[in-house]
Each structure stands twice: as C-alpha cells, then as structure tokens.
C-alpha cells in the first residue's frame, strides 16, 4: 500500500493552539481542539489589544532616528522585522535600543514596553509604561500595566486610581472594570468592588464574565450565598460549560461540603467532555476539602488577565495574548493555566526551546502536570528532539500506569517513526485501560489498524478497522483507510469506493481523501475520472509526493506523457520514501 495516500492517518500535518493532530488526543485538549473552553465569556467581547502585534505595520521611522545615525535607525528596522516575525524577544531588545536614540518618542516607548511584557520582563516594562503615561497621558494598555505593577506591591488604592482616566473601549472595556473591581477587593471594599463590575452586566455579551468575577470576589469576601448565586448564573448563562468557571464552582462546593451539588455539576461537565484529561486532573475529590483557588486581589486580577489572553488567543492575536499571559503570571506566580498558555503560544510561534522551557517550569505537584508534560513531548518532537520526547513520554507511562493518554501519545510518537510493532503494543495496553463506553475506542482501534496494516498483518488490520468503523460509522479517516485498503488489494472494490466517496462528502477539501478516490478510479481503469479527482486533490494538497505521483500515473494512462513526467519529477523533489523514490526514477526513465 502506498503510504502517501493514507498520510492523513499517519502524520501530524497541522497544530492549532497547541496540539497534536492525532485524534487520540483531541479529547484531552482545550478550546480549539477538544471542545473545552477555559476562559469565561465570549471572544467577541474582546478585541485585539491596541498595542502592536505580529503582522501589524511598523510605525513610521521617527525623524529623530533618521538623524541619529545608523545605530538608532538600524535598531528600529531590526525591531520592525522582528515584530512582523512575532519574534518578541528580538523586538523587545531592538525597540528598547532604538528608544535610547530617541528617549522621548512615545510610539517607540509603547512598542518597547509591549514587547518587554511579552518576554516577561515586567519591571522594565512597567517603568516604560510610566514614561509613556507621563509623556502622553496614554489611554492604551499602559494604565492596565501600571495597575498590575501597583498590585504586585499591594498598593491597591494606587492601582485603582491608575485606571481613572483609562479609555474603556475595545479590550479596555472588558479588562478595566475587572481590574478596578479587584483593586477595590484588595482594599476589602466589597460592595464597591461588586459595583465596579456593573458596567459589564449591562452588556449581554459580558454578563457571564460579570457573574464569574462577581462570584470570585464574593467568595473571597466570605459572602457564600452571594458567591453561589453568581457561580450559578455563570454556569446557567451558557449551554456549553467552560472549564475554569466549573473548576472554581466545584472548588467552592467542596469547601462548603455540598457534595450533591458538586457531583451534579461534575457530571454535567463530563457529559459534555466525557474524556477530558484536564477535568480528571482538576476536579476535586468529593471527600477532600481543597484550598481556595483565588486567595488575593492580585490573583483575581491574574484570572481577569488570563481570561483576556484566552480570548485573544482564540482570535490568533498571539503577541497580545502573550502580553496578558505574562502579566497574569507576574500577579500569580505558579498559575499553571497561564504557564501552560505561554508554552502553547510559543509553540504556535515555533519558538520550540522557549516553549519547552515554559512547560518545564510547571512542577510535578501541579494538577496540570500530566497535561503539560504531554504538550512538552509534542513540542520536543516538533523541534526534532524525538529521543527527548520519547523520554518524557516513557517517564509519564511509568508515573501514570493507569492513565491511557501517555500510552497513546507514546504510541503515536513511535508510529510516526514507523516503529509499527512497538506502537501497536502500546496501543493495545491503552485499549485495556479504556471502558467499553469510552468515545476514544474508535480512534484507538483505528490507530491499531494502521500499525497492523503497515506491518503487513492485513487480516488483523481489517478487523481493527472494521471495529473502528462500527464504533464510529461516519468517521472519514476510517472510511478512507479501509476503503483504500480494499481497493489497493483488489477486494471489495465497489464497497471500498463507496466508503471513500462517503468520506469525500464529509471532507470535500481534504486532498488526501480526494487522492484516495482518484486512485480508486485509476485502479478500476477509469483514468479520465482519476485525472479529474487527482487534479482536485493537488489543488488542496500540492506538496505531497504521493498525490503528485498518482497524478503522473493518471496523466500517462490518458496519453499526457509530458505532464506525467513533470508530476513524477515534482514528486521526486518532495522527499518521497526510499521505495517510492526508486519507483519514481524508474518511471522517469521508462514510463509506465
């Protein structure tokens, strides 16, 4: 069987917010990949920060820099390039250096403190934000930065007054009321803190967020009835529950000894997210009385900033999300959600060593340790440190012998290395840890079927793939793999073609599945239809060697020999597997 055709089942082709493409891990990941949302409140309420972000046009070169000679102007140009490449470390260093040549330039100062924040350099960033406010009375995010800096010193009164003139539009319209409320909570002005959140309650899209922070403030104040009323309003304000508010509410119920309500809420969440590794890690034992999750005003501010970062990240505003995440970390050192998000963002930006360092900061005592170590392994693999990734996963398998996720992740890693037998053994062990109702069973049987098919155990592979399809009858990857496997072996040809056609109906832009359909037509002698489908597959997936190879074969059969040689030559330049490379060279030499 030609491996390129089923590559959608063998390779990790893309990663959104942080994640492996393997279906086995989809259920353990947050927001974009697993149906879980950590932050409360809709992303529509939050617009990208006013400060510069990746892809934004750099500010016009200040005249003072042009007059300052090559040093200042060169640093400015280097900063602009770094900004457009989302290299926040270089952008911070170069904007700061350019500012030395023009120290009163407000635009440069804004950019310098923004990127210093993105790098977690809080003290120099706060100092520059102070300079910006002094020079321009800035209404951007500078007041937020200064309020956070004051809260770090527990100067809550000053933090509150920093926000007096803050413009409440865009992102500030969401963050400023929350920051004000927590600054008042730090002064134990509980009624005033609740009143500060009221502007959010008047905006329908912010009401869930209003209730969430009202609940946490009332909880901190010891106003239990008020806290639970707001927690309930948070949870009832949405059909799909978000993880962080659920975790907070469960923590409250556990501290109150309300085990029946706790079990009911936990069950409600797990019905929506039945295999959530995050939930398994975070939800309290009904018999244990956990510690309070938010113990101070600055930790409450950290929640506000983290929630903002979550919304920005959903809108792919990576640099701005990183800024708010770093502020959240500064206000609440050791906050695992913020630390995990920093790693996720850096991984998305392909800054793999820094992402790995962020993940490794999370201690083994953290309830998120397993989740974050799985992400660390993925990042190491993406950084081509496969042995290190394998070591992380092997350690997790030993540390969590009753958890299927490390076994599945290690199996995925070995499968991508084409170590089929070793991968199958791990998958089989993981299979023994899943219940008969676990909705990941189809995916695990599918992965086992792939390893068996690739290791030439067709009878076992066919049985595994059929089992997977019985568990999830309309799953396009399984339909594609089983259908292609039948056609490629000359068995159940019409049935196999029907399976692939069904898969294409569900994934009409998936080049790999369309390639399978085109190849099915080729193998059954309908060369004209094969050309039509394979040309369509190339449109969606132009850089795959197998699809180009298949299209070359189809062109040859319909007499378009020059175009066939062009496609084979192109496939040769796309790093085919050794056996496929040999076949391509033979076809270039002799044709079909």
Q: How confident is the model at residue 34 (pLDDT cuts 50, 70, 90)?
A: very low
Most distant CA atoms of the chain, gap in Å: 85
List CB contacts of 248: < 8 A, sequence separation 6 or more.
Answer: 212, 215, 216, 219, 231, 293, 294
The sign of the torsion formed by the CA atoms of 505, 507, 510, 512 equals negative
* Residue 11 is assigned to a structural domain of this protein: no
Which residues does residue 37 pair with via DSSP β-bridges, in sequence order?
242
pLDDT tens-digit readout, 136-193: 886 688 999 999 999 999 999 999 999 987 877 888 888 999 999 999 999 999 999 9
The count of domains in the chain is 2
Residue at which a domain ends, from 274, 298, 322: 298
pLDDT surpasses 90 at 576: yes
Mean pLDDT (whole number) for 540-552: 96
Residue at which a domain ends, from 298, 331, 364: 298
Within 371-443, strands assigned E span: none
CATH of the domain at 101: 1.25.40.10
* Residue 75 is assigned to a structural domain of this protein: yes
pLDDT tens-digit readout, 96-146: 888 888 888 888 889 999 999 999 999 999 999 999 998 888 668 899 999
List CB contacts of 316: < 8 A, sequence separation 6 or more.
Answer: none
pLDDT tens-digit readout, 268-318: 999 999 888 988 888 877 677 899 999 999 999 999 999 999 999 988 899
* Residue 54 is assigned to a structural domain of this protein: no
* Residue 228 is assigned to a structural domain of this protein: yes
* Residue 130 is assigned to a structural domain of this protein: yes
* Residue 450 is assigned to a structural domain of this protein: no
CA dist 426 → 223, 430, 439, 448 (Å): 50, 6, 18, 9
Residue at which a domain ends, from 298, 327, 357: 298
545 in Cβ contact with 576 (< 8 Å): yes
* Residue 500 is assigned to a structural domain of this protein: yes
pTM score, two decimals? 0.83
240 token code pair: 């799909």
* Residue 410 is assigned to a structural domain of this protein: no
pLDDT surpasses 70 at 43: no
105 in Cβ contact with 77 (< 8 Å): no
Residue with tokens 């800035």: 138
Q: Which domain covers residue 496, as residue numbers?
A: 479-592
């Amino acid at each position: 069987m030609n491996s390129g055709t089923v590559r959608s089942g063998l390779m990790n082709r893309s990663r959104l917010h942080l994640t492996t493409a393997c279906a086995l891990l989809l259920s353990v990941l947050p927001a974009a990949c697993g149906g879980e949302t950590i932050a409360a409140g809709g992303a529509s309420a939050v617009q990208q920060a006013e400060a510069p972000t990746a892809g934004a046009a750099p500010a016009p070169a200040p005249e003072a820099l042009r007059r300052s000679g090559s040093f200042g102007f060169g640093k400015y140009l280097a900063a602009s390039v770094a900004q457009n490449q989302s290299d926040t470390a270089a952008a911070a260093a170069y904007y700061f250096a350019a500012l030395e040549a023009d120290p009163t330039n407000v635009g440069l100062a804004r950019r310098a403190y923004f990127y210093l924040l993105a790098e977690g350099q809080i003290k120099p960033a706060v100092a520059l934000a102070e300079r910006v406010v002094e020079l321009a009375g800035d209404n951007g995010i500078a007041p937020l930065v200064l309020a956070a800096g004051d809260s770090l010193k527990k100067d809550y009164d000053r933090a509150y007054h920093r926000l007096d003139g803050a413009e409440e539009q865009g992102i500030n319209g969401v963050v400023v009321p929350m920051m004000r409320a927590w600054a008042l909570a730090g002064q134990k002005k509980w009624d005033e803190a609740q009143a500060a959140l009221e502007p959010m309650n008047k905006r329908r899209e912010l009401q869930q967020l209003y209730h969430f922070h009202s609940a946490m403030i009332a909880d901190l104040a010891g106003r239990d009835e008020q806290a639970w009323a707001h927690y309930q309003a948070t949870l009832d304000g949405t059909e799909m529950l978000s993880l962080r508010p659920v975790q907070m509410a469960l923590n409250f119920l556990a501290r109150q000894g309300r085990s029946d309500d706790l079990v009911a809420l936990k069950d409600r969440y797990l019905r929506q997210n039945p295999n959530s590794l995050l939930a398994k890690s975070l939800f309290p034992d009904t018999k244990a009385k956990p510690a309070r999750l938010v113990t101070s005003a600055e930790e409450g501010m950290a929640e506000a900033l983290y929630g903002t970062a979550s919304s920005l990240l959903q809108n792919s505003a990576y640099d701005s999300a990183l800024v708010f995440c770093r502020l959240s970390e500064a206000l609440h050192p050791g906050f695992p959600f913020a630390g995990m998000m920093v790693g996720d963002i850096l991984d998305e930006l392909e800054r793999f060593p820094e992402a790995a360092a962020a993940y490794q900061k999370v201690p083994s005592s953290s309830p998120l340790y397993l989740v974050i170590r799985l992400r660390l392994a993925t990042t190491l693999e993406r950084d081509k440190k496969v042995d290190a990734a394998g070591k992380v996963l092997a350690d997790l398998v030993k540390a969590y012998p009753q958890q299927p996720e490390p076994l599945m992740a290690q199996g995925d890693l070995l499968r991508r290395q084409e170590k089929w037998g070793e991968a199958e053994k791990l998958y089989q062990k993981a299979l023994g840890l899943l219940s008969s109702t676990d909705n990941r069973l189809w995916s695990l049987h599918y992965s086992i079927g792939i390893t068996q098919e690739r290791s030439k155990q067709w009878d076992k592979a066919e049985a595994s793939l059929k089992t997977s399809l019985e568990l999830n009858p309309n799953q396009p990857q399984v339909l594609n793999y089983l259908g292609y496997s039948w056609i490629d072996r000359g068995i159940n040809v019409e049935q196999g073609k029907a399976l692939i056609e069904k898969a294409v109906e569900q994934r009409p832009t998936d080049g790999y599945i369309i390639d399978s359909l085109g190849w099915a037509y080729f193998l059954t002698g309908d060369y004209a239809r094969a050309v039509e489908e394979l040309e369509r597959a190339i449109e969606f997936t132009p850089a795959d060697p197998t699809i180009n190879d298949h299209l070359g074969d189809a062109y040859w059969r319909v007499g378009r020999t020059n175009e066939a040689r062009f496609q084979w030559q192109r496939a040769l330049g796309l790093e085919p597997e050794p056996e496929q490379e040999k076949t391509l060279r033979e076809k270039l030499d002799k044709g079909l």
